A and B are shown apart, each in its own frame.
Chain A
Amino acid sequence: MGSRERVQIVLAGADEHDLTKLAEFRKAGGYKTLANARKLEPQAIVDELLASGLRGRGGAGFPMGRKASFLAKDTGKPVYLVVNADESEPGDFKDREIMFRVPHRLLEGCLITAHAIDSKHVFIYLRGEYSHEFEVLRSALDEVREAGLLGGVTVVIHRGAGAYICGEETALLESLEGKRGQPRSKPPFPAVQGLYASPTLINNVETIATVPAIVERGGDWYASLGVENSAGTRVFSLSGNVVNGGNYELELGASLYELIYRIGGGIPDGRKLKAVIPGGSSVPVLTAGEIQYPLDFDSMAEAGTMLGSGAVIVIDDRCCMVQLGLRVAQFYQHESCGKCTPCREGTRWMVQILRAIDEGRANHRDLDLLLDVCDRILGKCLCPLGDAAAMPVASYVTKFADEYRQHVDEGGCPFGGESSLDGVFAPVDQHTHAPVAEVPA
């Protein structure tokens, strides 16, 4: 696993100690902040979170303190804290490392946050595929329980069963209630009617694991790290055509160039950088000429993309951008829950058009049609899954327009079977084990 850089908050101490063990975590100061936090008024903790400027680390970047402030008060119903540990965004593997290396930091964050929102019930919705992480987390929770640290709070680790959509907060709640994981219409927002129609705070693993440091050292201290509107550190997941893939905790505002070349060791095999996906497969792509942008919320927006979940995927010059579009579209087609027509049908259309372009069966109007389909998905569904397919693919078609046109003009892939993504086998529909039917022409 990679070396750590500069300020460490979420992964602090994990290189030196086995922080999966309660004794080691306590020696490093763990759970002291919990004891202190429980002496504070809940609102005092929320105030620190507000002052810290901590924004959600799952992808949307909503300020945590504000989200906590929205919780409906005095409803007579229990308040729930739900941790979104359903990490499934392609390129993202940071929450997994947080859970298998510093599970107690997550649990301490859960218990402090529960106190801050006056909740006695915590659910950690853990991605089903993360079975090792489940065991690590469960044994950490057993230690916490035996040490009497729960303070009357119940913590349930709930395993998902393989559905990307359950990372969307309302789909997650449906799944946790024992249903198919299909998103709900909002409003009402979870802060008002979430789990079991009760006020619910939902935050990502990394967000919650940051809470102990903020409460220990103060919101102002945290706000002093990073850059304006992007306080603190983030655990960036670096992958793709890069020498040193791994998770790296860096202050926000670090440069993309530095992450890829200095920390990541650059592009292997003497290849050239072609493109970078800066925030997980759902965000628009950056070209090799656009990596001067710093990694923070505002700079990424200025670059026309998003910081998303902090997953940086590096792409070298062997990659065909049509095949990249096809593979990304196939993923979102597979993961579409089917509830909203533009997403369910649109992702399928995207796959078929992209396949036709890749195989040299498309004409120039198909390129327009592809962008048109993207446009007809964007912003037209209950949840952002359809957008997550449309935004990146539209950016490939736009930014690598010559390459797309070349496929049409030359009647096929100009890489001639030498693209790094050539022939990649996407999962077929897992439930039917058969290819889906073609949309009639």
Chain B
Amino acid sequence: MTELIQEIRAIAGRYPETRSAILPALHLAQERNDGWLPPQALEEVGTALGVTPAYVQSVASFYDMLHLEPVGRHLVEVCTNVSCALVGAQQVVEAFQRELGVRPGETTADGQVTLKTMECAGGCGWAPVVMVDHRHREPTTPEDVPAVLQELRSG
């Protein structure tokens, strides 16, 4: 039994029904697999929770934070929902595009950064909001973009 399977079974112990642990299990599996869920990880989650890999995939494919394809080492997500868009989110997206040379949904050639746009990140009053590796960075203006990427590259 792999270490991941053991850890998932321990998490499942917190729930009255084992299957409830599928999201925590997928978060953990993703952390252990460079930020995405390769087929092997789906199998391990299934084995740990007593469900088929196909079932695991059906759940994983429902949620935006779970990646079924490889992603960059870092994830930069720009919120482009209404409150952020009203105060210049599009210019922030463009600044990241310029600096990284990729469009939203793409990863830099060196595999370092995946750029995405995202729906409301929940920081509307402190917009424009960017999430860097799942941390809110607010506000982030186009002028801040080079420094954000500098931090990532040195971090």
Contacts and interface: CB of A to CB of B under 8 A. Distances in A.
A239 B124 CA distance: 5
Contact of B68 (A175, A180, A423, A431): A431
Interface in A398-434: 420-428, 430-431, 433
A54 to B, nearest CB: 23
Contact of B17 (A156, A178, A422): A178
A163 interface: yes
B10 interface: no
A129 B121 contact: yes
Contacts of A169: none
B105 to A, nearest CB: 5
B19 interface: yes
Interface string A104-137: 0000000000000000010000011111100000
Contact of B22 (A90, A163, A178, A324): A178
B130 interface: no
A328 B82 CA distance: 7
Interface in A153-170: 154, 156, 158-164
B72 interface: no
Contacts of B123: 93, 96
Interface in B87-133: 87-90, 93, 104-105, 116-127, 131
B153 interface: no
A246 B125 contact: yes
A328 B119 CA distance: 10
B95 to A, nearest CB: 12
B122 A161 contact: no
B109 to A, nearest CB: 17
Contacts of A92: 120, 122, 124
Q: How many interface residues does chain B have, given as a range?
A: 35 or more
Interface stretch (A296-304, A311-319, A361-369): A311-319
A87 interface: yes
B27 interface: yes
A176 B83 contact: no
Contacts of B145: none
A156 to B, nearest CB: 5
B125 A237 contact: yes
Nearest to A332: B119
A240 B86 contact: yes
A335 interface: yes
A78 B17 CA distance: 13
Q: How large is the interface on A (under 10, 10 to 19, 20 to 34, 35 or more residues)?
A: 35 or more
Nearest to A178: B19
| Interface SS of A by simple majority | loop
A159 B24 contact: yes
B21 interface: yes
Contacts of A176: 20
A433 B105 contact: yes
A424 B124 contact: no
Interface in A47-103: 78, 87-93, 96
A164 B81 CA distance: 13
Interface in A237-256: 237-241, 245-247
A427 B125 CA distance: 21
B82 A327 contact: yes
B62 A163 contact: yes
Contacts of B152: none
Contacts of B63: 128, 160-163, 181
B118 A427 contact: yes
A262 interface: no
Given A90-B82, A132-B135, A423-B90, 19 more contacts: A89-B120, A90-B119, A90-B120, A91-B124, A93-B124, A93-B125, A129-B131, A156-B14, A160-B63, A162-B66, A178-B23, A180-B58, A237-B125, A240-B86, A281-B120, A420-B88, A421-B86, A421-B90, A431-B68
Interface of B: 14-24, 26-27, 49, 58-59, 61-66, 68-69, 80-83, 85-90, 93, 104-105, 116-127, 131, 134-136
13 contacts: A92-B120, A129-B65, A177-B20, A180-B59, A237-B124, A239-B124, A240-B82, A245-B83, A246-B125, A331-B119, A420-B87, A425-B80, A428-B105
